[in-house]
Structures are given as structure tokens and as C-alpha cells.
């Protein structure tokens, strides 16, 4: 498939309480809340989208805060995205160590398998998060949270998948998602998606005897890849079907159109279109301030607002 996929689109995680999630991604990591909406499949639960100023695909982290909804704690394991990495300038890593310490977040300094300096820590729900130091990221950061531009996070750097048979995932990503192996070390393979810049990187970690992961609080639910448009998405969908794999119909997620399928090691993949983006239902300057509902749920706004916990940010 040539040119259908541009980069990563977003990473979506099942998390615990809403307020600590906002405090962490907005207050500590300095991301912009670009959309406050609900889980379209479960409108009693928020769906938060964090990213750069406009929620550019490749910068977006999204969470479903499922606290109090009888969702069990997730189990980390194989067939799962175990680390979500953000990129920031190399010289900013001391700043980030200070920020994490000031917020009481324990971290370890552990470079990536490919030579970059990196800081690893958990988010409030237990998600594995990493800040990777790189000067190869040309994206403009969001500075509205008060973090200076020379320190601020540029967007998602990569996702790391723990898988039993990395060659199978690499083959599928290569054939369907414009991926190519750009680096390999013992136990780790780095794939570039339509390039090799931060925001276009997928790491495959060789699972050994880990059991399969189970989705629940504190685990990543899926990673989405950015399709240029609906035509590119349909071409990928047809290819998934041709391979005998199950794929969902095209679903309207209001801010993009989505299809979902499981790659051969069990990780849930989504292909999401670049258009229409987060300004489809509110202006750029006020993204994320008001609760936005999909049109089909507007009639139930009062009930939905009564269920959702109050949050400040
Ligand atoms: Zn998604």
C-alpha cells in the first residue's frame, strides 16, 4: 500500500479516575485537552483527547476514565502496547526529571534500545509512559500549558508493542500500513510508518514467557494509524479483508472515520482518517472547554452530564 498511511494517529487507553488523568496529561506533561467528549460506545464515560494545539494526528493521546464503572484493573502482557513514548528535545530531559520529581512521580532513566536518552514512568492509572529525548522532531509544541517551547513535548514519539512473533506484526505493518524496518537490536525492532520521524515510529519488543495482556484500567486499548482520506482507508480495509482477517465497518467517530482490526499478535489496530479533525464542532481557540456530544446523543445531554464526574483543568 503506497502512501495510504501518513503517521500514527492516536493512542487510546483505558484509565482510572478522570481528574488525575487531566492533571497528569495537561498539568504535568503540558498537553492541550483538544476534545472533551464521551465514549461513543458508552456515553456515561468521558473520552479525553490530548495533543498539540489542534490535535494533529501523531500527537494525540486519548483516554477513557472508567473509574467506578466495574471495569477491572488491566493486566500487562504480550499482545499489548506496553509503552507510549512522547518526544521532547534532548536538552529538556533534566527539566522533565525535575517536573516529575516535583509532582512525586517516580521515574527511571533508561535509554531506548536505539540509543536515545529517555525517562520512563507510569501515569496515574499505571500506563507505561516514556519521554524520549530527540532533536529530530520538527513539530511545533503546544505551549499553552506554560511549558517553554524549548522544553515542551512535541507529540507521540512511538508506541512499543510486546509481541510473541514480531516478524508477523512487522510483515503486516509493512504490507498494509506503509511500514518498514528502520533499526533492529537484540529483542527490539523499530518500524517507521511512511518515514522515520517521531510520530511515525512503532517498536516491536520480543515477548518471552509473558502471558497475554488483558485490557482494563491502566492498559492501552489500541493504536490508530492516520489514513490520508476515506479512499486510502477503504483500500486498507479491502486488503485486511483479502487477508481473511476480521475488520469492522467504517465507523463515524465525529473527528475522523475509523476501522478496527487485530494484528496477528493480538494488538488492536485502528485506521483513522486525517479529516475532518477537532475543529469540526468547536473553534480552534476554545477546543476542549465544552462537553461535546455526538449528534445522536445530544437529546440525552442532561442525563449524560449528570452521570459524568465534575472535572477542573
Ligand atoms: Zn481510536
Assigned domain for 312 exists: no
Domain of residue 96 covers: 5-307
155: left (phi over 0), alpha (psi -120 to 50) or beta: left
Distance 10 CA to ligand 1 centre (A): 6
Contact 214, 77 (CB under 8 A): yes
- Residue 265 within any structural domain of the chain: yes
Q: How many residues does the chain have?
A: 313
Residue 1 pLDDT more than 70?
no
Q: What is the pLDDT of residue 106?
A: 98
| Residue 222 alpha carbon to ligand 1 centre in Å | 6
Q: Buried b / exposed e across 145-157, counting CB within 10 Å, b at 16+?
A: bebeeebbbbbbb
CA–CA separation, 205 and 250 (whole Å) = 30
User: For residue range 239-283, what is the model confidence (pLDDT) as tens digits?
Assistant: 999 999 999 999 999 999 999 999 999 999 999 999 999 999 999
pLDDT for position 308: 97
Number of domains in the chain: 1
Is residue 150 included in any domain, yes or no? yes
Ligand 1: centre distance to CA 62 (Å) = 8
Report if residue 187 sits inside a domain: yes
Give mean pLDDT, residues 32-37.
98
Which CATH number do you get for residue 157?
A: 3.10.180.10
**Where are the extended beta strands (E) located within the chain?**
5-15, 32-39, 42-51, 60-65, 80-88, 107-109, 118-122, 128-133, 155-163, 179-185, 188-193, 201-206, 219-227, 251-252, 257-262, 268-273
- Span 51-106, pLDDT tens digits: 999 999 999 999 999 999 999 999 999 999 999 999 999 999 999 999 999 999 99
Task: Tell me the CA distances in angstroms from 260 to 140, 227, 313, one per residue in order.
Answer: 29, 13, 31
Q: What is the pLDDT of residue 3?
A: 84
Tell me the CA–centroid distance for residue 220 and ligand 1, in Å.
10
Residue 166 inside a domain? The answer is yes
pTM above 0.95, yes or no: yes
Q: Return d(Cα 76, Cα 80) in angstroms, integer.
A: 7
Does residue 248 lie within any of the structural domains? yes
pLDDT at 117 over 90: yes
Q: What is the mean pLDDT of residues 110-122?
A: 96
Distance 42 CA to ligand 1 centre (A): 14
Residue 174 belongs to a domain: yes
What was the pLDDT predicted at 17? 98
Amino acid at each position: 500500500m503506497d502512501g495510504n498511511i501518513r503517521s500514527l494517529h492516536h493512542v487510546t487507553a483505558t484509565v482510572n479516575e478522570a481528574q488525575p488523568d487531566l492533571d497528569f496529561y495537561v498539568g504535568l506533561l503540558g498537553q492541550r485537552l483538544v476534545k472533551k467528549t464521551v465514549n461513543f460506545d458508552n456515553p456515561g464515560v468521558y473520552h479525553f483527547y490530548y495533543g498539540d494545539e489542534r490535535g494533529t494526528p501523531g500527537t494525540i493521546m486519548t483516554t477513557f476514565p472508567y473509574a467506578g464503572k466495574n471495569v477491572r484493573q488491566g493486566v500487562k502482557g504480550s499482545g499489548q502496547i506496553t509503552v507510549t513514548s512522547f518526544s521532547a528535545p534532548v536538552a529538556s530531559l533534566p527539566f522533565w526529571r525535575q517536573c516529575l520529581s516535583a509532582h512525586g512521580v517516580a521515574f527511571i532513566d533508561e535509554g531506548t534500545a536505539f540509543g536515545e536518552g529517555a525517562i520512563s514512568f507510569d501515569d496515574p492509572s499505571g500506563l507505561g509512559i516514556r519521554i524520549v529525548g530527540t532533536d529530530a522532531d520538527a513539530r511545533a509544541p503546544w505551549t499553552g500549558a506554560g511549558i517553554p517551547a524549548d522544553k515542551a513535548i512535541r507529540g507521540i514519539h512511538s508506541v512499543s508493542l510486546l509481541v510473541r512473533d514480531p516478524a508477523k506484526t512487522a510483515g503486516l505493518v509493512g504490507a498494509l500500513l506503509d511500514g518498514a524496518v528502520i533499526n533492529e537490536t537484540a529483542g527490539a525492532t523499530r518500524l517507521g510508518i511512511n518515514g522515520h520521524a517521531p510520530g511515525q515510529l512503532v517498536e516491536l519488543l520480543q515477548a518471552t514467557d509473558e502471558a497475554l495482556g488483558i485490557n482494563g484500567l491502566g492498559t492501552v486499548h489500541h493504536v490508530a494509524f492516520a489514513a490520508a482520506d476515506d479512499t486510502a482507508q477503504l483500500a486498507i480495509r479491502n486488503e485486511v479483508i483479502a487477508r481473511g482477517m476480521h475488520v469492522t465497518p467504517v465507523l463515524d467517530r465525529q473527528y475522523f472515520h475509523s476501522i478496527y482490526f487485530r494484528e496477528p499478535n493480538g494488538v488492536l489496530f485502528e485506521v483513522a482518517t486525517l479529516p475532518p479533525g477537532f475543529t469540526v464542532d468547536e473553534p480552534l481557540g476554545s477546543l476542549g472547554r465544552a462537553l461535546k456530544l455526538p449528534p445522536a446523543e445530544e437529546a440525552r445531554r442532561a442525563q449524560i452530564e449528570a452521570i459524568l464526574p465534575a472535572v477542573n483543568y
